[in-house]
Structure 1
Amino acid sequence: METAQPGQDTLEGRVILITGAAEGVGRAVASACARAGASVVLSEPSETDVGDLYDEIKASGGPEPAILPLSLEHASEADFQGAAAVLGETFGRLDGLAHCAAFAPFLSRIDDYDASEWERVIRINLTAPFMLTQACLPLLRAAPDASVVFTSDRVGRQGLAYWGAFAAAKFGIEGLMQVLAAETRESGSIRVNSLDPGILNTRLRMRLYPGENPRTHPDPATVTGAYLRLLGPAGRGTTGASLDAGKATHR
């Protein structure tokens, strides 16, 4: 397993789309990208989900952010294509796509896993990232040095009990990353990698492990350097890699 080392990368002049931007890793990555000079596009199901972050970034004096309302659970293929069309009309290209949204409702034995919940988890964590990436490929190809970063997870590289559909989806993300990296490697204009941020102090973690003291885990801001490296010029030449943002430990 490789380790992505944080770097002092500039993203000035780059347009970066971040899913799951309202909280956790997505919010931290969006804030870090904005501070690094990027024009960030904040994606969540509703504008109100990221309204405060939009105001925060705008007040900081950097490039004005944009909001792209999009439900990963309910959006149709036409919705994803429409979202990409809006980005194209607004920016003309997309320099980076950071898939940071994640959804895991519970931990459960396979024996007891509800099929409808399985489909929901797979949809949000695997199918939707595929559909969004597919829709954005023309915009990514329009950029001179584009990067796609899929947020992975340790359970998507080594299956662990009770993680069910979330683990299956993250294994799928690893496969999707490798396939897309292989398909775009020859052109060299799009870099595609996955990044495991490790165990962090997030609402997702607290929901799944309510008995834990969340302060024992690092803040999501501690892993943003690895995302900046992959999204920026320092990541040139790196594609098809499964990277580790820090010292992730077994759950």
Structure 2
Amino acid sequence: MQSELLNYLPANGLLRERVIVVTGAAMGIGKAVAMQYARLGATVVLVDKQELMLEAVYDEIVEAGYPEPVICKLDLAEATSDAYSSLALMIKQELGRLDGLLLNAAWLGAFMAIRQHDLELWTKMLQVNLSANFLLVRACLPLLEQSPDAAIVFSTDTTDRAYYGGFGVSKAAMNAFCDILAQEYDAKPFIRVNRIHTGPVRTSLRVLNFPGEHADSNVRPEAVVGPYLYFMGPDAGQRTGESLQLDKLPADFRWVGEQG
């Protein structure tokens, strides 16, 4: 399945007229996937706290001639439940529908032994990586339930190793959250819910937390978009509750849909 989904090439216009929310959209995997969702015809709601970088992504999408996206500056570490409710209301009032969520944003504050773990750091990692996603999903479920082909995709990780602390715990909980959602929505109203673990990718989060690792030894974010496109779109059909864990990819691997 890994090779099949990594090399998935969607039909042009596959996501036309759909509305998709992407968190962590300012850079890395979030940006790469958001660009492809827009290329396939979706109106993308770009969510991140990095406003200037979001504006740059917005400009790239518009200049490419894709549907005009929507910028939503949101700090997942601080946003309240009301902020997510307001986001869902804006989508309903201004866009009229919601067809997909890509829960991609993540934050790893530090590697730290449990015995030494700082409570503030622990709490922030659980907020960004777990609670914020719960709040966003809960606010958006009423809209997703009305979509004829709704999908939620999680960017996940397997981090049950020493010193991953709050990040590891939050990601393990996110895996459980994904599985629970998939079971709750495996009938009417059906929502396709799947998770993807890409393995090491050349992102700022990876570079920040693995300073001894050469960044160019990992694959580029643009190379791993295939599974994100497949699980978000209608070709995935009734495939739900799946966990795709990719092997470490060669640094020069390219997605078949990349030009040039």
Same fold (TM over 0.5): yes
Query: For residues 31-74 of structure 1, what are the alpha-carbon distances to aligned partners after superposition, in whole Å with 9 as ceiling and x for unaligned?
Result: 11112221111011253330011001000011111112222111
1:217 equivalent in structure 2: 218
2:247 equivalent in structure 1: 247
Root-mean-square deviation (Å) = 1.4
1:195 equivalent in structure 2: 196
Q: Secondary structure at the match of 2:213?
A: coil
Structure 2: distance between partners of 1:71 and 1:49:
14
Query: Out of 40, 49, 69, which is 1:65 matched to?
Result: 69
Q: Secondary structure at the match of 1:199?
A: coil
The one-letter amino acid of 1:42's match is L
Within the alignment, does 1:38 sit opposite 2:39 as a pair? no
Structure 2: distance between partners of 1:68 and 1:90:
13
The one-letter amino acid of 2:223's match is T
Structure 2: distance between partners of 1:124 and 1:219:
24
Please say if residues 102 and 124 of structure 1, whose CA atoms lie closer than 8 Å, have aligned partners that are also in contact. yes
The higher relative CO (CA closer than 8 Å, separation ≥ 6) is in: 1
Deviation, 1:97, is: 0.3
Within the alignment, does 1:92 sit opposite 2:96 as a pair? yes
Structure 2: distance between partners of 1:89 and 1:47:
23
1:149 equivalent in structure 2: 153
Please say if residues 100 and 232 of structure 2, whose CA atoms lie closer than 8 Å, have aligned partners that are also in contact. yes
Please say if residues 158 and 172 of structure 2, whose CA atoms lie closer than 8 Å, have aligned partners that are also in contact. no
Query: Out of 26, 40, 55, which is 2:30 matched to?
Result: 26
1:236 equivalent in structure 2: 237
Structure 2: distance between partners of 1:248 and 1:152:
15
Q: Secondary structure at the match of 1:40?
A: strand
The one-letter amino acid of 2:135's match is M
2:161 equivalent in structure 1: 160
1:136 equivalent in structure 2: 140
Within the alignment, does 1:113 sit opposite 2:153 as a pair? no
Structure 2: distance between partners of 1:172 and 1:117:
17
Please say if residues 25 and 31 of structure 2, whose CA atoms lie closer than 8 Å, have aligned partners that are also in contact. yes
Q: Secondary structure at the match of 1:237?
A: coil
Structure 1: distance between partners of 2:62 and 2:16:
15
Please say if residues 154 and 248 of structure 1, whose CA atoms lie closer than 8 Å, have aligned partners that are also in contact. no
Within the alignment, does 1:176 sit opposite 2:177 as a pair? yes
Q: Secondary structure at the match of 1:88?
A: helix
Q: Secondary structure at the match of 2:5?
A: coil
Structure 2: distance between partners of 1:41 and 1:183:
25
Query: Out of 81, 85, 92, which is 1:81 matched to?
Result: 85
Q: What runs of 5+ residues in structure 2 fail to find an aligned partner?
A: 250-260
Extract structure 1 runs of 4+ deviating beyond 4 A: none
